[in-house]
Amino acid sequence: MAPGEPILPGTLELLILKAASLGPLHGYGILLRIQQMSGAALIIEQGALYPAMARLERGGLLDSEWGTSENSRKAKFYRLTTAGRRRLRDQTDSWERMVRAMRTALKATGGEV
Amino acid sequence: MSRLQWIVSGVRNGFRRHAQEREMEAELTFHLDARVDDLIAKGRLPTDAMRQARLEFGSRGAHEEGCRDARGFPLLEHLLSDVRYAARGLVRSRRLVCVAVFSLGIGVGVNTRSSALSRRSSDGAHRPCARAARVDWGRPW
Protein backbone atom coordinates (compact mmCIF):
# COMPACT_ATOMS: atom_id res chain seq x y z
CA MET A 1 0.00 0.00 0.00
CA ALA A 2 1.15 3.55 -0.62
CA PRO A 3 2.75 5.35 2.32
CA GLY A 4 0.45 7.60 4.32
CA GLU A 5 -0.69 8.53 7.80
CA PRO A 6 -1.36 5.85 10.42
CA ILE A 7 -5.03 6.08 11.37
CA LEU A 8 -5.99 7.67 14.69
CA PRO A 9 -7.00 5.28 17.49
CA GLY A 10 -10.75 4.71 17.49
CA THR A 11 -11.30 5.75 13.88
CA LEU A 12 -10.99 2.29 12.31
CA GLU A 13 -14.50 1.27 13.33
CA LEU A 14 -15.98 4.46 11.91
CA LEU A 15 -14.12 3.86 8.62
CA ILE A 16 -15.40 0.26 8.47
CA LEU A 17 -18.98 1.42 9.05
CA LYS A 18 -18.59 4.01 6.30
CA ALA A 19 -17.11 1.47 3.85
CA ALA A 20 -19.87 -1.05 4.58
CA SER A 21 -22.55 1.64 4.20
CA LEU A 22 -21.70 1.89 0.50
CA GLY A 23 -22.71 -1.75 -0.12
CA PRO A 24 -21.96 -5.27 1.19
CA LEU A 25 -18.25 -6.14 1.13
CA HIS A 26 -15.87 -8.82 2.34
CA GLY A 27 -13.02 -7.87 4.70
CA TYR A 28 -10.47 -7.34 1.93
CA GLY A 29 -13.02 -5.29 -0.01
CA ILE A 30 -13.55 -3.09 3.06
CA LEU A 31 -9.79 -2.49 3.22
CA LEU A 32 -9.66 -1.57 -0.48
CA ARG A 33 -12.66 0.73 -0.13
CA ILE A 34 -11.11 2.53 2.84
CA GLN A 35 -7.91 3.01 0.84
CA GLN A 36 -9.92 4.25 -2.12
CA MET A 37 -12.12 6.58 -0.02
CA SER A 38 -9.10 8.13 1.69
CA GLY A 39 -7.05 8.47 -1.49
CA ALA A 40 -4.61 5.88 -0.08
CA ALA A 41 -3.65 8.40 2.60
CA LEU A 42 -4.31 6.12 5.58
CA ILE A 43 -2.16 3.23 6.78
CA ILE A 44 -4.08 0.34 8.34
CA GLU A 45 -2.58 -2.81 9.74
CA GLN A 46 -4.75 -5.08 7.63
CA GLY A 47 -5.30 -7.83 10.20
CA ALA A 48 -6.65 -5.28 12.70
CA LEU A 49 -9.78 -4.98 10.52
CA TYR A 50 -11.01 -8.40 11.63
CA PRO A 51 -11.21 -7.94 15.42
CA ALA A 52 -12.82 -4.54 14.75
CA MET A 53 -15.41 -6.08 12.41
CA ALA A 54 -16.06 -8.88 14.93
CA ARG A 55 -16.72 -6.23 17.61
CA LEU A 56 -19.09 -4.33 15.32
CA GLU A 57 -20.91 -7.55 14.44
CA ARG A 58 -21.23 -8.51 18.11
CA GLY A 59 -22.59 -5.02 18.81
CA GLY A 60 -25.27 -5.52 16.14
CA LEU A 61 -23.87 -2.78 13.89
CA LEU A 62 -22.77 -5.14 11.10
CA ASP A 63 -24.39 -8.28 9.77
CA SER A 64 -22.50 -10.94 7.84
CA GLU A 65 -23.15 -13.83 5.48
CA TRP A 66 -21.00 -16.11 3.37
CA GLY A 67 -21.06 -15.60 -0.36
CA THR A 68 -18.88 -15.87 -3.44
CA SER A 69 -16.26 -13.24 -4.21
CA GLU A 70 -15.53 -11.69 -7.61
CA ASN A 71 -12.82 -14.34 -8.17
CA SER A 72 -15.23 -17.19 -7.27
CA ARG A 73 -13.87 -17.83 -3.77
CA LYS A 74 -15.94 -18.27 -0.65
CA ALA A 75 -15.87 -15.03 1.34
CA LYS A 76 -17.69 -13.48 4.29
CA PHE A 77 -19.63 -10.37 3.29
CA TYR A 78 -20.54 -7.63 5.74
CA ARG A 79 -23.39 -5.17 5.49
CA LEU A 80 -24.54 -2.36 7.73
CA THR A 81 -27.59 -2.93 9.97
CA THR A 82 -30.12 -0.22 10.83
CA ALA A 83 -28.35 0.29 14.18
CA GLY A 84 -25.03 0.52 12.29
CA ARG A 85 -26.43 3.21 9.99
CA ARG A 86 -27.61 5.20 13.00
CA ARG A 87 -24.20 4.82 14.71
CA LEU A 88 -22.43 5.91 11.51
CA ARG A 89 -24.58 9.06 11.36
CA ASP A 90 -23.96 9.91 15.03
CA GLN A 91 -20.22 9.26 14.88
CA THR A 92 -19.84 11.20 11.63
CA ASP A 93 -21.55 14.21 13.25
CA SER A 94 -19.39 14.05 16.36
CA TRP A 95 -16.24 13.57 14.24
CA GLU A 96 -17.09 16.64 12.18
CA ARG A 97 -17.71 18.73 15.30
CA MET A 98 -14.34 17.60 16.64
CA VAL A 99 -12.52 18.40 13.40
CA ARG A 100 -14.12 21.87 13.25
CA ALA A 101 -13.12 22.55 16.86
CA MET A 102 -9.55 21.35 16.28
CA ARG A 103 -9.21 23.37 13.09
CA THR A 104 -10.47 26.53 14.80
CA ALA A 105 -8.17 25.92 17.76
CA LEU A 106 -5.11 25.30 15.62
CA LYS A 107 -5.73 28.33 13.40
CA ALA A 108 -6.01 30.70 16.34
CA THR A 109 -3.56 33.60 16.20
CA GLY A 110 -2.19 35.85 18.89
CA GLY A 111 -4.70 38.62 18.17
CA GLU A 112 -7.76 36.37 18.53
CA VAL A 113 -7.09 35.02 22.02
CA MET B 1 -27.93 -3.21 21.28
CA SER B 2 -28.90 -3.95 24.84
CA ARG B 3 -26.66 -5.62 27.38
CA LEU B 4 -28.92 -8.68 27.26
CA GLN B 5 -28.58 -9.06 23.47
CA TRP B 6 -24.81 -8.73 23.84
CA ILE B 7 -24.78 -11.56 26.39
CA VAL B 8 -27.12 -13.74 24.29
CA SER B 9 -24.92 -13.33 21.21
CA GLY B 10 -21.83 -14.20 23.27
CA VAL B 11 -23.49 -17.39 24.57
CA ARG B 12 -24.64 -18.30 21.05
CA ASN B 13 -21.07 -17.77 19.79
CA GLY B 14 -19.85 -20.04 22.60
CA PHE B 15 -21.95 -22.91 21.20
CA ARG B 16 -20.62 -22.30 17.68
CA ARG B 17 -16.98 -22.07 18.67
CA HIS B 18 -15.64 -24.77 16.32
CA ALA B 19 -17.60 -23.45 13.36
CA GLN B 20 -16.42 -19.93 14.17
CA GLU B 21 -12.79 -20.99 14.32
CA ARG B 22 -13.16 -22.54 10.87
CA GLU B 23 -14.89 -19.45 9.52
CA MET B 24 -12.23 -17.13 10.96
CA GLU B 25 -9.49 -19.29 9.45
CA ALA B 26 -11.22 -19.22 6.05
CA GLU B 27 -11.84 -15.46 6.26
CA LEU B 28 -8.24 -14.53 7.10
CA THR B 29 -6.88 -16.94 4.49
CA PHE B 30 -9.19 -15.38 1.90
CA HIS B 31 -7.81 -11.93 2.77
CA LEU B 32 -4.18 -13.02 2.43
CA ASP B 33 -4.86 -14.91 -0.82
CA ALA B 34 -6.69 -11.93 -2.32
CA ARG B 35 -3.84 -9.59 -1.33
CA VAL B 36 -1.22 -11.95 -2.81
CA ASP B 37 -3.23 -12.11 -6.06
CA ASP B 38 -3.39 -8.30 -6.21
CA LEU B 39 0.35 -7.95 -5.60
CA ILE B 40 1.15 -10.57 -8.26
CA ALA B 41 -1.16 -8.74 -10.67
CA LYS B 42 0.91 -5.60 -9.95
CA GLY B 43 4.02 -7.48 -11.07
CA ARG B 44 5.43 -8.88 -7.82
CA LEU B 45 6.99 -12.34 -7.70
CA PRO B 46 4.79 -14.86 -5.83
CA THR B 47 7.28 -15.30 -2.95
CA ASP B 48 7.70 -11.52 -2.59
CA ALA B 49 3.95 -11.05 -2.76
CA MET B 50 3.36 -13.61 -0.02
CA ARG B 51 5.97 -12.02 2.23
CA GLN B 52 4.58 -8.55 1.74
CA ALA B 53 0.99 -9.69 2.27
CA ARG B 54 1.95 -11.30 5.60
CA LEU B 55 3.89 -8.20 6.62
CA GLU B 56 0.98 -5.88 5.85
CA PHE B 57 -1.43 -8.18 7.68
CA GLY B 58 0.50 -8.00 10.97
CA SER B 59 0.52 -10.71 13.61
CA ARG B 60 -2.09 -13.25 12.55
CA GLY B 61 -2.14 -14.93 15.97
CA ALA B 62 -2.78 -11.63 17.76
CA HIS B 63 -5.59 -10.68 15.38
CA GLU B 64 -7.19 -14.12 15.73
CA GLU B 65 -7.09 -13.70 19.51
CA GLY B 66 -8.68 -10.26 19.08
CA CYS B 67 -11.52 -11.84 17.06
CA ARG B 68 -12.08 -14.52 19.71
CA ASP B 69 -12.17 -11.86 22.44
CA ALA B 70 -14.65 -9.78 20.44
CA ARG B 71 -17.04 -12.73 20.04
CA GLY B 72 -16.93 -14.20 23.53
CA PHE B 73 -16.54 -13.12 27.16
CA PRO B 74 -12.77 -12.59 27.40
CA LEU B 75 -12.62 -11.89 31.17
CA LEU B 76 -14.65 -14.97 32.04
CA GLU B 77 -12.77 -17.15 29.56
CA HIS B 78 -9.35 -16.03 30.83
CA LEU B 79 -10.48 -16.67 34.41
CA LEU B 80 -11.71 -20.17 33.50
CA SER B 81 -8.49 -20.97 31.67
CA ASP B 82 -6.51 -19.86 34.75
CA VAL B 83 -8.65 -22.13 36.94
CA ARG B 84 -8.14 -25.04 34.52
CA TYR B 85 -4.39 -24.39 34.51
CA ALA B 86 -4.28 -24.38 38.32
CA ALA B 87 -6.38 -27.58 38.52
CA ARG B 88 -4.07 -29.34 36.08
CA GLY B 89 -1.07 -28.28 38.17
CA LEU B 90 -2.71 -29.62 41.35
CA VAL B 91 -3.56 -32.94 39.69
CA ARG B 92 0.07 -33.32 38.62
CA SER B 93 1.45 -32.89 42.17
CA ARG B 94 -0.97 -35.00 44.21
CA ARG B 95 1.41 -35.57 47.13
CA LEU B 96 1.80 -31.83 47.67
CA VAL B 97 -2.01 -31.40 47.55
CA CYS B 98 -2.43 -34.17 50.20
CA VAL B 99 0.11 -32.56 52.54
CA ALA B 100 -1.41 -29.10 52.03
CA VAL B 101 -5.00 -30.29 52.63
CA PHE B 102 -3.95 -32.34 55.68
CA SER B 103 -1.98 -29.51 57.31
CA LEU B 104 -4.74 -26.97 56.55
CA GLY B 105 -7.30 -29.39 58.01
CA ILE B 106 -5.29 -29.86 61.20
CA GLY B 107 -4.71 -26.10 61.49
CA VAL B 108 -8.39 -25.18 60.98
CA GLY B 109 -9.52 -27.99 63.31
CA VAL B 110 -7.22 -26.98 66.15
CA ASN B 111 -8.14 -23.32 65.79
CA THR B 112 -11.89 -24.00 65.82
CA ARG B 113 -11.58 -26.28 68.82
CA SER B 114 -9.49 -23.84 70.84
CA SER B 115 -11.71 -20.84 70.05
CA ALA B 116 -14.80 -22.91 70.99
CA LEU B 117 -13.20 -23.79 74.32
CA SER B 118 -12.18 -20.22 75.06
CA ARG B 119 -15.68 -18.94 74.18
CA ARG B 120 -17.22 -21.49 76.56
CA SER B 121 -14.99 -20.39 79.42
CA SER B 122 -15.49 -16.66 78.70
CA ASP B 123 -19.32 -17.18 78.47
CA GLY B 124 -19.23 -18.56 82.00
CA ALA B 125 -17.16 -15.64 83.19
CA HIS B 126 -19.48 -13.02 81.64
CA ARG B 127 -22.84 -14.31 82.84
CA PRO B 128 -22.61 -13.04 86.47
CA CYS B 129 -21.52 -9.59 85.20
CA ALA B 130 -24.57 -9.39 82.94
CA ARG B 131 -26.84 -10.23 85.84
CA ALA B 132 -25.08 -7.66 88.03
CA ALA B 133 -25.62 -5.01 85.34
CA ARG B 134 -29.35 -5.85 85.18
CA VAL B 135 -29.64 -5.39 88.90
CA ASP B 136 -27.93 -1.98 88.66
CA TRP B 137 -30.17 -0.88 85.77
CA GLY B 138 -33.29 -1.97 87.64
CA ARG B 139 -33.11 0.91 90.14
CA PRO B 140 -31.02 3.71 88.76
CA TRP B 141 -32.64 6.34 91.01
pLDDT confidence of residue B139: 55
Q: Is there a domain that residue A26 lies in?
A: yes
Per-residue model confidence as pLDDT tens digits over B5-61: 888 888 888 888 899 999 999 999 999 999 999 999 999 999 999 999 999 999 999
Per-residue pLDDT averaged across A30-49, rounded?
A: 92
ipTM: 0.86
- Contact between A84 and A17 (Cβ < 8 Å): yes
Do A58 and B30 count as a contact with CB atoms less than 8 A apart? no
Q: Is there a domain that residue A44 lies in?
A: yes
Amino acid identity of residue B91, one-letter, is V
**At A89, is the secondary structure helix, strand, or coil?**
helix
Least CB-CB distance to B66: which of A46, A51, A71? A51
Least CB-CB distance to B30: which of A26, A48, A58? A26
Comparing alpha-carbon positions, the chain B residue that sits nearest to A56 is: B70
DSSP state of A112: T
Q: Measured between beta carbons, which residues in chain B are less than 8 angstroms from residue A48?
A: 58, 63, 66
In angstroms, rounded to a whole number, what is the distance separating the alpha carbons of residues A80 and A85?
6
Q: Is there a domain that residue A51 lies in?
A: yes
pLDDT confidence of residue A83: 95
Per-residue model confidence as pLDDT tens digits over B69-119: 999 898 888 899 999 999 999 999 989 999 999 999 999 999 999 998 888
Q: How many domains, in total, are found in chain A?
A: 1
Q: Is there a domain that residue A112 lies in?
A: no
- Domain range for A12 is 5-106
Per-residue pLDDT averaged across A31-54, rounded?
A: 93
Q: Is there a domain that residue A68 lies in?
A: yes
Q: Is there a domain that residue A18 lies in?
A: yes
Please report which confidence band the pLDDT of residue A1 belongs to, taking 50, 70 and 90 as the band edges: very low
Amino acid identity of residue B27, one-letter, is E
The CATH number of the domain where A67 resides is what? 1.10.10.10
**At A110, is the secondary structure helix, strand, or coil?**
coil
Q: Is there a domain that residue A79 lies in?
A: yes
pLDDT confidence of residue B43: 95
Per-residue model confidence as pLDDT tens digits over A70-113: 888 999 999 999 999 999 999 999 999 999 999 999 998 887 76
Do B28 and A26 count as a contact with CB atoms less than 8 A apart? no
